[in-house]
Amino acid sequence: MTELTHFDEHGASRMVDTSAKPETLREARASGLVRMAPATAALIRDRGLAKGDVLEVARLAGIMAAKRTGDLIPLCHPLPITSASVDFTFVADDLLRIEATVRIFGRTGVEMEALTAVSVAALTVYDMCKAVDRVMTIERVRLEEKSGGRSGPFRRDD
């Protein structure tokens, strides 16, 4: 296992110096699940909630969060993201899958931006639906794949 890069030789926190890294196309895809009552899922699909179109608001929240990741996670670099998308699929009558893909031509990866996009989109779904379903759960937020950079590609096998 490689050493942790956000600490110097004395254990002090540090932002990784990426100035010597080459700029390459980097992409990351993350996913997460929101489990809810089937009636809540139906309200979302039918755009029946008083607050509006839950998935479109959550999509915008996720994209905005990807762009602000450097403001949220202390040692993340603020990045000029070239693309961010958030998509939704109901994989069961009580389960919403959220997937975010983020791209950049830069010196560092965008895994945290994709994970942040999924997390904030899921939180937005919860916020917009909590009046009708307080037992919703956000589950299994994870990196699915990434490409670009020195460490090479990663793709989850399961």
Are 35 and 95 a contacting pair, CB within 8 Å? yes
Q: Which two tokens stand for residue 62?
A: 């996720």
DSSP for 101-157?
Answer: EEEEEESS--HHHHHHHHHHHHHHHHHHHTTT-TT-EEEEEEEEEEE-STT--EE--
- The torsion angles phi and psi of 87, rounded to 5 degrees, stand at -125, 155
φ, ψ of residue 27 in degrees (nearest 5): -145, 145
As given in the structure block, the two tokens for residue 118 are 């999924």
| Structure token digits, residue 152 | 């090479």
Hey, what amino acid is at 120?
A: V
Catalytic residue among 127, 133, 157, 158: 127
Active site residue 127: yes
Q: Measured in whole angstroms, how far is the alpha carbon of residue 100 from the centre of its chain?
A: 6
Active site residues: 127
